[in-house]
Structure formats: structure tokens, C-alpha cells
């Protein structure tokens, strides 16, 4: 049985709804449940590792609430996504499994029949928590297969065109209804366009591919102009009180109040759409960071000598992302979206205080992957560059976690076992490992290493990345691949401009380091029963 929420509320507030019925959980008495810790999981989409004020990479960036969260918890300085694209990354977070093992190789698999594409039947952390007496809700972007949404009564199952069971992300559906209710006559003014995602007017800026081609152009002609969601840049012409970030946060706030009324331990997820494209902040976040003051990425002119990414992400066609003037508009919009998210994270954490659950709640903040933001002349993700593969990660739990900065390399697949560990829930073994020893300083000075995957396009692209001791290696797993192998010394080359394996003559030290990292990668994958190990063993650097 599913519960479908019916909402009617004013712009400024959300009515407190009664506690939702709970189904399928093991029955626990309230006294026992009260002893269990809660989980508040906050995830953004496409937020790179250095897009936090506390990191200091962008001194102008204001994220006071996330900075405070980091100061009272643990901030991981070297956290990487399992895969730098949404659906695979989110599925790894939910299951603690490598992409190879959960089977969600690309975003499009979300709408496919799970049986046909071979998705794992392993349960998500929320499914296991609900079985152990937890109350659970999920608000915002979901973007994975329907088989993991059973704990969330706010999701609506349906059949898609391929006759596979899919879901409607209820917040997206009701957000559209919400916008239509309060903006029923939203029509573009002269010079404005209609965004494909929100179906609302926006004023494009020079980064937008249709800039200067506004409402005076017939709709049928505009429809012929090839563009995608990431092409839309500018100011969304709706009040900030109606923004999707505001909506998703208010839904989460209401969920926390329902969870408190349930008298159960809870697991609540807030999954913000932003700062993912379309890059359309509302005022006051649009223009909050002056375009003229935005820094130009150091690597924007990277010629990609000896790089497998020379033609990646349409960089030779989408030349605006290598334009030193235009990219500043994108940066201004991107950072504005992040500051809006930060404001609402503060409101969510304030609610956690108000319901008296801060001390007993493990709060996790992270992102699914990063954003190139003009680095190497590129946009979006899908690559092993730091801006794409490295993500923020903060874990705060006042009862058990002391404030610290952890330098150890960690992966998003480690979140599943970490949650199980701190919440005291038994689970089968997954590919990730609990971060508790790293958090509690029980490991030696060795920072280990981290592995990231990209498997969908087979051996036509780099498949594995490993980072260890400031060295990064990425390559295909197959000796038959023609993909260029890459080795970066991140300490000497933090912007990843020099491939030490490029050219006809490769020095002995670089070859030795590449062999060392490959051996580590093979051992790591072997321990996780990867099917690609035998081919990796045949890779040569001689």
C-alpha cells in the first residue's frame, strides 16, 4: 500500500501533516526505538569538492551553514564518487556496491526493466533500516531504479513506455503542480525564453546557447535549435520562495516533523536538484556573485596533449565553456545556486534542533559527482578530472563523532557500511568499507587509495581511476584498448595538465609508479571479485 500526499499550502509555509502510516517494518516498541540513532542524509547534484566556503578555494563563496556543519563534524578532504554520473553514483550510495556489481551503468537504465539489464537484488540502506523499525521518507531527486523505493510512500509507481516499472518522483510532480498553481500565467517577456525543465520563463545570459534569440522567434523555429538542459543559463523569473530548492527543503522539514511524530527512529533524505543544470538561480541568488569577479579556471586553455578527453563532453563544439568571459556567467550562477542550497540546509538543521533530535542524528552531506565549470574547457562531469570525480563529504553525529578533517582517500560506496556501522544495524558485506576507523583516528598514517569507475562505453574510454599519495592513474581495463593511459602527479601538477605517460619516451619513475598503482587497483578489484581483473593483469607500461 502506498500513501499519496495531497498538498495545499501557501507560499511562505507548509502545513504540518499527520504522521504517515508505517508498513513492512519489524515491530519494535517505542522505548527500544528511542535508543536508536537517526539518519539525515542530504545530497546535492553536481557539487564539486571545492564548492564549499570552508575549503577556501573560492574565498568569496558563502556557505555558512555547511561550514558550521563541517566544524562540528568530520570533513573528508579527499572524497571521490564511485562514478561521475548521477544514476550510477546514487545507486552506489544506496547499495554500497561498485557500478559493476549493482548494474546501473548509465542514467538511461533508470527507466529500463531491472531484470533485463541485470540490476542487483541487494537492498538499499533505507530498505534495511525500515526492516529494522525505522521511519523513512525521501524528498527531491531520486534518479535510480524503482526497486529501491519501497521505503518511500511518497513515490508513485507507474509503467513507462517500455512497460518497465518506473516511478514518478513525487516532489518533481507536485513541484510542477505547485508552480502552476502560483504562476498560472507565466509567459516570457521580450528577450526571455521558457526553460524546458521548469516550463517557466527565464532571462538568458551570454552563456546560454539561445542568448539574444528570445520570445520574438517563433516557437517552431526555437524548437529546431538543438539545445539541452545544460545549455540553459540565466535568471529564472519566479520568486525565490517558489524555487525548487525551497520546495525540496520545505518538504524535508515537514518530513522531519512527521518523523518525530512517528515515535520511531528515522532516516530522512533531502536530495537537492541544484547546482545541477539548468543553471537558473532566482533572485537574490542570481547575480549574488558579480560576474566580473569570478576567477577564470587555470586549465581552461588545456590543449589536451596526450589526453583521452580531447573530444570529451563536446568540448570542441561547446566552445563557450572555454571562453574566459562567458564562463564567468556560469560560475556566478553555479555559486549562487550553492548558496541557496546552503541557506535551506540551515533551515533543515534548525528544524532538527527544534524537534530535539540533533544530538541523536547522524547527518551526512555529500554530492553525487562534481562539475567541470570550465576547467579544461569543459562542462558537466563523466570524466576522471578532480573537478568531476571529487565531491564534498561531511559527517556529523554529536554523540559519537568528534570534529576533525580526515585526509584519507574515501569513496561514496563507503557510506552504506558507515551508516550500518554507526546505526548499529547488521547487513551483508558490500564493496565499501566503514569510515568509522578513519573518523576515529584508528588507522595509521597511510592514507590508502580510492578507485572510481566508468564502464558504460566499454574500452573506448578510460574505465578506472586510482588515486594514491597524490598520484592519479586512469586507463581502460583492457590491453586491447587504444585509449591513452594517463598518470598525473597531483602535487606538482594539481590542474592535471601533464600526462607523465604521454609521448614516445616515458621516464622510469613514471612507469614504476603506473605499475605500482595498477597492482593496487588489481588487488582492490580482486578482493571485490571484479570480472575485469584478468584483463587488467595484462596491461603493460613498457
Contacts of 539 (CB under 8 A, 6+ apart): 475, 477, 479, 518
CATH of 457-542, one of 3.40.50, 3.30.1120, 2.20.110, 1.10.287: 3.30.1120
On the question of pLDDT at 163 being above 90, the answer is no
Fold of domain 38-182+239-445: Alkaline Phosphatase, subunit A (3.40.720)
Predicted confidence band at 263 (pLDDT cuts at 50, 70, 90)?
very high
Local structure of residue 110 (DSSP, 8 states):
G
pLDDT digits (tens, 9 = 90+) for 24-62: 334 444 454 557 999 999 999 999 999 999 999 999 999
**DSSP-derived secondary structure for 397-463:** -TTT---EEE-S-EEGGGHHHHHHHHHT------SS--SHHHHTT-S-S---EEEEE--TTGGGS--
CB neighbours (10 Å) of residue 455? 18
Local structure of residue 138 (DSSP, 8 states):
E
Predicted confidence band at 107 (pLDDT cuts at 50, 70, 90)?
confident
| Range of lowest pLDDT (130-139, 194-203, 282-291) | 194-203
Cis preceding linkage at 284, omega within 30: yes
Spans of all domains in the chain: 38-182+239-445, 184-237, 457-542
Predicted confidence band at 444 (pLDDT cuts at 50, 70, 90)?
confident
pLDDT digits (tens, 9 = 90+) for 355-388: 999 999 999 999 999 999 999 999 999 999 999 9
Phi, psi for residue 34 in degrees, rounded to 5: -60, -25
Across 506-523, b (16+ Cβ under 10 Å) vs e yields beeebbebbeebbebbbe
On the question of pLDDT at 97 being above 50, the answer is yes
Predicted confidence band at 108 (pLDDT cuts at 50, 70, 90)?
confident
pLDDT at res. 377: 96
Average pLDDT of the chain is 88
Amino acid at each position: 500500500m502506498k500513501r499519496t500526499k495531497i498538498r495545499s499550502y501557501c507560499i511562505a509555509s507548509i502545513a504540518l501533516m499527520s504522521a504517515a502510516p508505517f508498513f513492512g517494518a519489524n515491530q519494535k516498541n517505542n522505548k527500544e526505538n528511542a535508543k536508536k540513532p537517526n539518519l539525515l542524509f542530504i545530497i546535492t547534484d553536481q557539487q564539486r569538492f571545492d564548492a564549499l566556503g570552508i575549503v577556501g578555494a573560492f574565498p568569496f563563496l558563502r556557505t555558512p551553514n555547511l561550514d558550521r556543519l563541517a566544524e562540528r563534524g568530520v570533513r573528508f578532504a579527499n572524497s571521490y564518487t564511485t562514478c561521475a554520473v548521477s544514476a550510477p553514483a546514487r545507486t552506489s550510495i544506496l547499495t554500497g556496491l561498485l557500478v559493476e556489481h549493482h548494474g546501473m551503468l548509465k542514467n538511461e537504465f533508470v527507466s529500463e526493466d531491472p531484470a533485463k539489464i541485470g540490476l542487483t537484488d541487494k537492498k538499499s540502506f533505507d530498505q534495511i533500516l525500515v526492516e529494522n523499525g525505522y521511519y523513512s521518507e525521501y524528498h527531491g531527486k531520486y534518479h535510480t531504479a524503482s526497486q529501491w523505493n519501497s521505503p518511500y510512500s511518497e513515490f508513485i509507481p507507474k509503467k513507462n513506455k517500455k512497460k518497465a516499472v518506473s516511478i514518478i518522483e513525487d516532489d518533481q510532480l507536485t513541484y510542477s503542480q505547485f508552480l502552476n498553481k502560483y504562476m498560472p500565467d507565466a509567459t516570457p517577456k521580450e528577450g526571455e525564453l521558457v526553460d524546458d525543465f521548469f516550463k517557466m520563463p527565464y532571462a538568458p545570459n551570454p552563456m546560454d546557447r539561445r542568448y539574444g534569440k528570445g520570445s520574438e522567434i517563433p516557437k517552431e523555429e526555437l524548437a529546431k535549435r538543438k539545445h539541452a538542459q545544460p545549455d540553459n543559463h540565466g535568471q529564472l523569473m519566479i520568486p525565490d520562495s517558489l524555487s525548487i530548492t525551497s520546495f525540496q527543503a520545505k518538504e524535508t522539514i515537514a518530513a522531519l516533523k512527521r518523523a518525530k511524530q512517528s515515535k520511531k527512529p528515522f532516516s530522512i533524505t533531502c536530495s537537492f536538484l541544484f547546482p545541477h543544470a539548468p543553471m537558473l538561480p532566482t533572485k537574490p541568488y542570481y547575480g549574488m556573485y558579480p560576474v566580473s569577479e569570478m576567477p577564470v579556471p587555470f586549465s581552461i586553455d588545456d590543449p589536451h596533449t596526450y589526453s583521452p578527453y580531447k573530444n570529451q563532453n563536446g568540448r570542441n563544439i561547446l566552445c563557450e565553456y572555454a571562453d574566459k568571459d562567458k564562463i564567468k556567467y556560469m560560475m556566478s550562477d553555479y555559486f549562487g545556486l550553492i548558496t541557496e542550497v546552503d541557506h535551506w540546509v540551515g533551515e533543515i538543521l534548525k528544524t532538527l534542533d527544534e524537534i530535539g533530535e540533533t544530538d541523536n542524528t547522524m547527518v551526512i552531506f555529500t554530492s553525487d559527482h562534481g562539475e567541470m565549470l570550465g576547467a579544461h574547457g569543459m562542462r558537466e562531469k563523466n570524466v576522471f578530472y578532480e573537478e568531476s570525480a571529487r565531491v564534498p563529504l561531511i559527517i556529523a553525529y554529536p554523540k559519537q563523532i568528534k570534529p576533525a578533517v580526515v585526509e584519507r582517500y574515501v569513496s561514496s560506496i563507503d557510506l552504506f557500511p558507515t551508516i550500518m556501522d554507526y546505526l548499529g544495524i547488521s547487513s551483508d558485506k558490500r564493496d565499501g568499507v566503514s569510515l568509522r576507523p578513519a573518523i576515529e583516528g584508528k588507522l595509521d598514517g597511510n592514507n590508502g587509495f580510492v578507485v572510481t569507475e566508468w564502464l558504460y562505453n566499454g574500452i573506448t574510454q578510460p574505465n578506472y581511476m586510482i588515486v594514491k599519495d597524490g598520484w592519479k592513474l586512469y586507463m581502460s581495463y583492457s590491453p586491447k584498448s587504444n585509449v591513452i593511459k594517463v598518470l598525473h602527479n597531483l602535487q606538482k601538477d594539481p590542474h592535471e595538465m601533464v600526462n607523465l605517460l604521454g609521448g614516445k619516451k616515458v621516464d622510469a619513475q613514471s612507469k614504476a609508479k603506473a605499475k605500482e598503482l595498477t597492482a593496487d587497483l588489481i588487488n582492490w578489484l580482486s578482493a571485490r571479485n571484479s570480472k575485469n581483473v584478468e584483463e587488467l593483469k595484462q596491461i603493460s607500461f613498457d
